Structure 1
Amino acid sequence: MKKNVLKICSLAVLGLFFSCSEENYEKDSVLESENLNQELLTTKQINDGIKSTLEQTGQFYWEDASLQMLWSATQHGSNIVTIGYGSSQNDFEKASSKAIGIEEEILKIIRDNETSSSEKTLIYKDPVLNIIDVIIKDQSTLALLRQNNHVRYIEPGDYKFFQFEQENGTNKSSSSGSSGCGYESESLSSSDYTTITPNAKVPWNFYKHNIPTAWNTSTGAGITIGVIDSGVSPNQSLLGSNFNNGSSSGRSVQKYGTYVDSAWPWSTSTDGPNDKCGHGTSMTATATAPRNNKGLPVGVAYNANLISYRAASNVVLEGYHEQKGVQNAFVGLGNNSSVKIISMSMGHIFSVGRIEDGVRYANNRGKLIFCAGGTSTSFTNFVGVIFPAWMSETVAVTGIKEGSGYNKCSNCHSGSTIDFTVVMERSSSGNSAPVLSYYENQTDYVGGSSVATATTAGIAALVWAKNPSWTKTQVLNKLKQSASLYPNKNSDYGYGNINAALAVQ
């Protein structure tokens, strides 16, 4: 009996030895196959690499970066790493996932390999999507995870490209820092609007798309538009307590916040739904401002419902909490059965995996998603269509100048993934579109691909309200068929300008 016990124990020890040997061999072979270079790249070197790829291909994904570049970017981004996992690239939703046990498998790899294992590894595990945020310091850990078949993507979670551009002496552009933000008010030129009952101002560019004529057929009633942006001004009652004003009635406005204003990645308290930038107020006003009796600009779908998400502090989604806030906004709107349309006039010059997952989550639930093609100054004029507008799950929109032909508006981006255009800039004065200001009873001019996107989302609401039983595909096809370049698609301007009056027929 004793001899048998000894034999069993010996076999068990031998089996454990072989198991450990195989695991170590696999780990060693992975690390040998990777080019481990412990020299830390500077933020300038990383940014130059990103820009070089964008100039060559038009898109940048972290999966195409070298291990050294990925590791260096995480080092410069507080060691925060975002990991998307699953049994396949399309396995990103927890509810339908086949990725049982994969999350713990990944965390075990990190804990077993990190030399500073005493520190807290896990920052956040998403309750809906197959995403975790972790702290990783060792390049070898990234190498092991990169070659794991269950890792869909692994990215720096807090690499701030534009902040580093500024620190490195590159001129700050409107695509960085406080980009898109402003609380300005400006009186409107009488040539830039027409007054209609009950005393609302119709922006000049609405007539370029026959939107006022379309109102004879549809005003967006019964359709809910979700806007992901910087929130809504608490000082603009036409997007709050007076949302039902003048000829707008029987509709609702809801405001949420998913943005955490903190440098601490473990923070979870959002700073509320109110706009602290000004950009979100302009976008929600463009899409849904009431046909009011106060002598102020009307929105495209003035009888549509509005759900606003403050998901970021400004239009550039380069911080950890901004990217996470946008992802959560897409999930929230995706889960809201009343939402038909999502409009987002924010983005980044490179892909963000967690936002991709959020977009796909909402898309899988029948939402028609419009994203801005991009607006910037000379610093980023080499960038074509920005992320996530380049995704196939989104509809990309940009702005053009008034006049014959197609010429993009100043600082607007164009490219092969653009689907539609909106006239945004006057040929003579250079004025953009009149909108409600951040402040009560005041107006402003705002343009670019941002307002073009919100305008197109409003037109889509007019079409969907006319055909409430339609799917998003049917609505999108109608928009295409009503555009000036259809059935052809221009390599820079897509199907061109939509004729809203034709679209609602």
Structure 2
Amino acid sequence: MGPRKITAHGDKGAEVQGKIRRLGSWRRAAAMIVAVGTVWAGTVMPASADTDLPEYLTKMRAPEMWKVADGTGITVAVIDSGVKDLPELEGRVLPGVSFMEPPVSRPEEKYPVHDDFEGHGTSMIAAIVGDGSGGGPHGLAPGAKVMPIRTSIGSPMAFGAIGEAGKGVRYAADNGAKIINLSIGGWWSLDRIGPAIEYAQSKGVLVFVGMGNDGSKMSNPIAALPGAFGVGAVDINGEPLESSSNGSATDFAAFGGKVPIRCKKNTAWCMQDGGTSYATSLASASAALVWSAHPDWTANQVARVLLQTAGGPVDGAKRNDWVGYGIARPSKVLIDRQGDPGAPDTDPLASPTPQPSTPSADPAAAVPPQAESTAAESDRSWKWPALGAAVAVILGLGITGILKRRRR
């Protein structure tokens, strides 16, 4: 297998339209109507010492970073399936809100945001702010606060979750969130979430979106929207996961290998692949750390230094479709004092972006996969119902005209 074709950000309109055209057949489009997470039955974790850190946090130099900044002062909105009240999240989760639509037959049904019956949202939140107690995850930004925003992900009404997420994005932008985490994907109501993400960007909010987990070029279309940063997933050696969807919407990558994920109907922690969902949470947490250390910076400046210091492709390319500009390395900003924040009002992807850090033997540097992954349709859970997929495809394929450009 020869080297992968490296694609840079050129004309924004042509780029986004090209990505949409590459999404392929209706069957593959229907398969995109999934939550980006990769939660399935796994091995229940034994309780471990609260001081034990997973290898990926050690390699990210988390203990050293926390001496500089731990996310204090930053609110991250996690738009997902809600959150379960757990001791390991105590004091770190704000009240939040639910936009989950009730079934038509029961319009009076209420869904508290702190009633995550699936676990995906809880897992994403723990990746950001978990304190590691009880065998749960150590979050990368334990001093941050999380604003949970509940959608229909994981429910029979999941085909409407992207429209609900559009409301959630606006709510987060208007209620103090500096960062929005979207570890979900799909076509449904793309015409509603697109303007919402642009609105959030206009309010100075960073939005991170998981690329998806089917290992193909059929990446999450939300990641191609103006104002969104697409996130791919890598393993502990910095090699892209074969399951990580990829394409020209990829801007960053982060660890997405074996991590603690809620399982058994959100009653326990299991070790499972986190995929691009978990990677997105780590990207959001990375931004929270940098912003916590530099509260006077704008979203553009935080994004710019993360791009500049990312562990770029090992072949020296500016970016590639698997890891984007590289693996997020907030330690380079917080500990090594690298990165130039630049102009506060200039989008770093709307103008020439400085080259990422020179690749090296650093395990956080991006290594392309050994071979092209065709990744047959995944049997992972978090797929949305077939009816929702069909409806979403029918409506979603008609809205590609709204995608004007990658960045404003």
TM class, shorter-length: 0.5 to 0.7
Cα deviation for residue 433 of structure 1 reads 1.9
Cα deviation for residue 309 of structure 1 reads 0.6
Question: Residue deviations 1:244-300, cap 9 Å, x none?
Answer: 4xxxxxx55223210113246x958552212122211111111111254x4432111
Match of 1:499, as an amino acid? R
Query: In the aligned structure 2, how far is the partner of 1:497 from the partner of 1:371?
Result: 15
Q: How many residues align?
A: 312
- Greater RCO, CA 8 A, separation 6+: 2
Structure 1 residues 355 and 162: CA distance shift in structure 2, 3 A: farther
Cα deviation for residue 447 of structure 1 reads 1.1
Query: In the aligned structure 1, how far is the partner of 2:36 from the partner of 2:220?
Result: 15
Q: CA RMSD in A?
A: 3.5
Query: In the aligned structure 2, how far is the partner of 1:301 from the partner of 1:459?
Result: 7
Whether 1:489 aligns to 2:306 is no
Cα deviation for residue 401 of structure 1 reads 2.8
Question: Residue deviations 1:346-386, cap 9 Å, x none?
Answer: 0115871011111112111111111101112xxxx544321
Q: Which residue of 2 aligns with 1:499?
A: 329
TM-score, normalized by length of structure 2? 0.67
Q: Which residue of 2 aligns with 1:324?
A: 163
TM-score, normalized by length of structure 1? 0.55
Cα deviation for residue 182 of structure 1 reads 5.0
Structure 1 residues 351 and 177: CA distance shift in structure 2, 3 A: closer
Query: In the aligned structure 2, how far is the partner of 1:491 from the partner of 1:351?
Result: 29
Query: In the aligned structure 2, how far is the partner of 1:424 from the partner of 1:189?
Result: 21
Cα deviation for residue 303 of structure 1 reads 1.0
DSSP-derived class of the 2:222 partner:
coil
Structure 2 residues without counterparts, runs of 5 or longer = 1-14, 338-408
DSSP-derived class of the 2:52 partner:
strand
Structure 1 residues 350 and 323: CA distance shift in structure 2, 3 A: closer
Query: In the aligned structure 2, how far is the partner of 1:479 from the partner of 1:200?
Result: 28
Q: Which residue of 2 aligns with 1:449?
A: 276
Q: Which residue of 1 aligns with 2:68?
A: 217
Structure 1 residues without counterparts, runs of 5 or longer = 1-53, 62-160, 166-172, 245-250, 426-431
Whether 1:203 aligns to 2:43 is no
Q: Which residue of 1 aligns with 2:87?
A: 237
Q: Residue 128 of structure 2 contacts residue 285 of structure 2 at CA under 8 Å; is this kept in 1?
A: yes
Q: Which residues in structure 2 correspond to 1:277-292 (within 5 Å)?
A: 277-292=118-133
Question: Residue deviations 1:201-227, cap 9 Å, x none?
Answer: 322222333333211211111111110
Q: Residue 38 of structure 2 contacts residue 275 of structure 2 at CA under 8 Å; is this kept in 1?
A: no
Match of 2:245, as an amino acid? H
Q: Which residues in structure 2 correspond to 1:300-449 (within 5 Å)?
A: 300-314=140-154, 319=159, 321-336=160-175, 338-348=176-186, 352-376=190-214, 381-403=215-237, 407-425=239-257, 432-435=258-261, 439=266, 442-449=269-276
Question: Residue deviations 1:415-463, cap 9 Å, x none?
Answer: 12211111323xxxxxx12346675674443411100000110111110
Cα deviation for residue 334 of structure 1 reads 1.2
Query: In the aligned structure 1, how far is the partner of 2:27 from the partner of 2:158?
Result: 8
Structure 1 residues 421 and 317: CA distance shift in structure 2, 3 A: farther
Query: In the aligned structure 2, how far is the partner of 1:443 from the partner of 1:182?
Result: 9
Q: Which residue of 1 aligns with 2:343?
A: none
Q: Residue 59 of structure 1 contacts residue 351 of structure 1 at CA under 8 Å; is this kept in 2?
A: no
Q: Which residue of 2 aligns with 1:71?
A: none
Match of 2:149, as an amino acid? Y
Query: In the aligned structure 2, how far is the partner of 1:476 from the partner of 1:315?
Result: 33
Q: Which residues in structure 2 correspond to 1:36-435 (within 5 Å)?
A: 57-59=18-20, 180=37, 182=39, 184=41, 186-188=43-45, 199-234=50-85, 236-239=86-89, 243-244=90-91, 251-263=92-104, 267=107, 270-273=110-113, 274-292=115-133, 294-314=134-154, 319=159, 321-336=160-175, 338-348=176-186, 352-376=190-214, 381-403=215-237, 407-425=239-257, 432-435=258-261
Q: Residue 208 of structure 2 contacts residue 228 of structure 2 at CA under 8 Å; is this kept in 1?
A: yes
Query: In the aligned structure 1, how far is the partner of 2:327 from the partner of 2:29?
Result: 37
